Amino acid sequence: MVKMNHMKSGIFKIGSLLAAFLFVSFFGFAQDFAPWPVPDEASVVKNPVEANKTSLEAGKSLYTLQCKACHGETGRGDGLIKAASLVSENFQSQTDGAILWKLHQGRGQMPSFKALPDDQLWNVINYVRSLSKKPEDIIMKNAVVSLFFNEKAEQKELTAKVEQVNDNGEKLPAQGIKVNVGVQKYFGILPISSTSNYTSENGEINIVFPNNIIGDENGELTIIASVDDMEFNPARVSENISWGQINPKDYWSERRALWKNNDYIPLWLLISFTVGAISVWLVIMYVALLVRKIKIEGDKSGLSD
């Protein structure tokens, strides 16, 4: 007995050590990043770039390319890894100069962006600021986007038209608006417009539609156009059209094959797996029953003894 107690307390000690270890490392991990002091001469540097539309748009595309993966779409630091929040009050309280200095320096997993020209960094700083605080002079407007298809002998053309909708319901072509056009695919939208597609004075962009996009078994595709502009609320349209290449019905992709999902599970497999699994366990249960019988038998003869 004494030995047992001894051992018990040993196990208890080890257990509590382990628990303490887990506790410390867990909360150590959950903690925020340590303060990141910035030298005064860096903090006083003024941001020479005005936060106008051009700067914000340039900043957004740079952010999407270089920062979003870690800092997340909305800058809360919730991307693929845990990164600093770019919308917290604490963050906003520092000067643009201090942020630039941090972008130059980098720390830990935050890379240094010294290699990028400063004017681009100022753009991204302007954009990051706008994540928590929209510039006041921007009033959000509404727009509709529509798609037109034009099939000529040799070439298929697609037109996306953006119209601004005024408060009284009046629609006017909107010029200089960025429109993204793409084709819906399994895992996302395949862009077919170039990245800088701004509408002309009649509110349109024209795209020569590529011939090599694969559609469904009828060649049908879903085309999606969306307005991508800081001053406009999101607007989007999707249309189906048979402009894709015909994707012949594949015998194997329709078949119940071993490598497909559970909806296509081959019946012979479903049956043999289930029957096999159940019968093994039935036998195990039968043996458990026999063991129970042994016990009952023992109790009986124990009594008669």
Partner 1 sequence: MSATPNSTSESGNKTYEQIREDLIRPLHNNSFWNQVWIRFLIIVIVLGAVAYGHQLIKGLGLTAMRDYSAWGMYISNFVFWVAVSLIGSLISAILKLLTQNWANPISRISEMIALGAITMAGASIVIDMGRPDRVLNIPLHGRIQSPIVWDFFVVNTYLVISAILLYLPLIPDIAILRDRMTKAPKWQRKIYEVLSIGWQGTQEQWRLLKKSIRIMIILILPVAFSIHTVTSWLFAVTLRTGWHSTIFGPYFVAGAFVAGSAAVVIAMYVFRKRLKLQDYLTDHHFNMMNKLVVLTLLIYLYFNINEYLVPGYSWKRLDGDHLQELLMGHEAPLFWMTQILGMVLPIILLLFKPMRKPLPSMVIALFVLIGAWIKRFLIVIPTQFHPQFPIQNVPEHFTHYIPTYTEIAVSLATLAGALLIITMLVRVFPVVPIWEEAHDRGIHKIFKAEK
User: Contacts from 132-137 at CB under 8 Å and sequence distance 24+?
Assistant: 132/75, 132/86, 132/87, 132/92, 133/92, 135/51, 135/56
What is the closest distance, in whole angstroms, from the C-beta atom of residue 280 to partner 1 in the complex?
A: 6
The residue assigned the tokens 């194997």 is: 252
Stretch that binds partner 1, among 39-47, 185-193, 229-237, 283-291 (CB under 8 A): 283-291
Mask of contacts with ligand HEC, 255-284, x by CB under 6 A?
------------------------------
100 binds ligand HEC (CB under 6 A): no
Stretch that binds partner 1, among 50-58, 82-90, 93-101, 263-271 (CB under 8 A): 263-271
What is the closest distance, in whole angstroms, from the C-beta atom of residue 102 to partner 1 in the complex?
A: 25
The residue assigned the tokens 């050590």 is: 17
Cβ neighbour number for residue 165 with a 10 Å cutoff: 17
Give the one entry of partner 1, ligand HEC, none that residue 84 binds, where binding means its C-beta sits below a cut-off of 5 to 8 angstroms depending on kind: ligand HEC
The strand ranges marked E within the chain are 142-151, 156-165, 171-173, 179-185, 188-191, 204-208, 221-227, 236-241
83 binds ligand HEC (CB under 6 A): yes
Q: Which residues contact 24 (CB under 8 A, 6 or more apart)?
A: none
Task: List the one residue from 14, 22, 44, 69 that touches ligand HEC (CB under 6 A).
Answer: 69
Look at the chain and count its residues. Answer: 305
Task: List the one residue from 4, 115, 139, 153 that touches partner 1 (CB under 8 A).
Answer: 4
Positions 183 through 242 that interact with partner 1 (CB under 8 A) = none
Q: Helix, strand or coil for residue 144?
A: strand
Cα–Cα distance between 219 and 244 in angstroms, integer?
4
Q: For residue 136, how far is the Cα from the chain centroid?
A: 29
* Burial (CB count within 10 angstroms: exposed 0-12, middle 13-18, buried 19+), residue 75: buried
Cα–Cα distance between 229 and 98 in angstroms, integer?
29
Stretch that binds partner 1, among 37-45, 182-190, 224-232, 284-292 (CB under 8 A): 284-292
Task: List the one residue from 99, 224, 225, 227 that touches ligand HEC (CB under 6 A).
Answer: 99
Cβ(36)–Cβ(87) under 8 Å?
A: no
Give the one entry of ligand HEC, partner 1, none that residue 119 binds, where binding means its C-beta sits below a cut-off of 5 to 8 angstroms depending on kind: none
Task: List the one residue from 49, 51, 124, 224 that touches ligand HEC (CB under 6 A).
Answer: 124
- Site residues for ligand HEC per CB under 6 A: 33, 36, 66-67, 69-71, 81, 83-84, 86, 91, 99, 102-103, 107-111, 113, 124, 128
- Site residues for partner 1 per CB under 8 A: 1, 3-4, 14, 18, 21-22, 25-26, 29, 258-262, 265-266, 269-270, 273, 277, 280-281, 283-284, 286-287, 290-291, 293-295, 297-299, 301-302, 305
